Amino acid sequence: MTSAIPAKTTTASPAEPGPRLDTGRGNGTKSGRARKQYSDRTRAERRLGWILAGPAFVIMLLVTLYPILQAIYESLFRFRLTAPDERAFVGIENYIVILSDPVWWSGLWTTVFITVVTVLVELVLGFALALVMHKALKSVRGLLRTAILVPYGIITVVSAFAWFYAFDINSGYVNSWFAWLPGIDENLNWFAQGPTALFVIMASEIWKTTPFISLLLLAGLAQVPDELSEAAKVDGATWWEQMRKVIVPNMKAAIMVAVLFRALDAFRIFDNVFIMTNGAYGTEVLSLLAYRQSISRLEIGLGSAVSVLLFLCVLLICFVAIKLFKVDLAGTQGGK
């Protein structure tokens, strides 16, 4: 599987066993003739590699690197689209304005809160779902997997509306269903106060994205050798001990990747907040703050600065995850 030698030249040199080495930089053990042939081929292969992979690489840079550089540049200007003549270089003033504004900090804490809570809940729920799917009888396994994919496929906006209408004081049924619970009655307006609004926002986020995490965990579970848990069972380990000492440690990589990806995703939360509260009552998240600054208020300078800060937060999360948990993303993801 690792032999990637172009077929035409296979007769010239025998296929190497094992993984290929990067022999491009000279190979002293080969004869002059062989080395020349080899490096010609290597060069052709390298060129072909970049011809094939280059366009995708360039486009990825164009659609992300260019905008972020542009955002960094624009964040250094006082620039309102409604008053283009007043554009002026202000250095880091935009950043000072933002970082000294409580709106930024409350947005940051709300975003962090949503991220931490949803990822924790999703991890537990996703693991439970993965276990159910893993152990399920053959007859229902397909059904379960199909069902669990439904939330994954549904548009976030649709999911946001589904949850919104269910809890909404006018069109909802949740209030009348759960009126017996203390604190809930016909007149509870879930979206008129921060904590209850956040609850619904997080519930919809959790519903929509748990399938992703549970599929990753299911793949992780499948990679734990059956013999390990069998052996543990023979040794008299309880179910809980098997989980804690055998299963979970053996799928640490899958868990880490799932958590990191979900955390980064949750940190960008936007759609359901926009639909349900549009950031009112202390539910404003950082993405929404950036959106309001640049797209609604046309404050390109300030909006760019918020975008850059959000980008830095994401970088920080990655950095911490990689340092703290020693996640080798490229490695775990099958990178070479």
Partner 1 sequence: MTNTSTRNKVLWAVATILVLVYALFPVASILATSFKSPSDLTSGKFLPSSGTATTSNYEQILVGDAQGLFLSALRNSIGISLIATFIAVVLATLCAYAIARLDFPGKKLILTTALAVSIFPVISIVTPLFNLWRTIGLYDTWLGLIIPYLSLTLPISIWTLAAFFRQIPWELEQAAQVDGATTWQAFRKAIVPLALPGVFTTAIIAFFIAWNDFVYGISLTSTEAARPVPAALAFFTGASQFESPTGAISAAAIIVTIPVVLLVLLFQRQIVSGLTSGAVKG
Residues 8-27 that bind partner 1 (CB under 8 A): 8, 10, 20, 22, 24
How many residues sit close enough to partner 1 to count as binding (CB under 8 A)? 116
Q: Which of 184, 268, 281, 325 binds partner 1 (CB under 8 A)?
A: 268
Judged by CB under 8 A, does residue 91 bind partner 1?
no
Nearest to 286, CA basis, from 302, 307, 265, 271: 307
Judged by CB under 8 A, does residue 311 bind partner 1?
yes
Helix boundaries (H) for 29-101: 32-60, 66-74, 93-99
CB 331 within 8 A of CB 110: no
- Cα angle, residue 41 at apex, residues 6 and 17 outer, rounded to 5°: 55
Q: Which of 76, 94, 107, 172 binds partner 1 (CB under 8 A)?
A: 172
Instruction: Show Cβ contacts of residue 71 under 8 Å, excluding neighbours closer than 6 positions.
Output: 304, 307, 308, 311
Task: Decide: residue 226, CB within 10 A, 0-12 exposed, 13-18 middle, 19+ buried.
Answer: exposed
In the complex, least distance from residue 229 CB atom to partner 1, rounded to whole angstroms: 18
Nearest to 267, CA basis, from 117, 75, 98, 92: 117
Q: Which of 14, 26, 28, 153 binds partner 1 (CB under 8 A)?
A: 153
CA gap 67, 61 in Å, rounded: 9
Judged by CB under 8 A, does residue 181 bind partner 1?
no
- Per-residue string for binding with partner 1, 124-143, x by CB under 8 A? -----x--xx--xx--x-xx
In the complex, least distance from residue 245 CB atom to partner 1, rounded to whole angstroms: 20
27-46 positions binding partner 1, by CB under 8 A: 42, 45-46
In the complex, least distance from residue 287 CB atom to partner 1, rounded to whole angstroms: 4
Judged by CB under 8 A, does residue 266 bind partner 1?
no
Identify any residues that bridge with 80 across adjacent strands, giving them in sequence order.
299
Judged by CB under 8 A, does residue 200 bind partner 1?
no
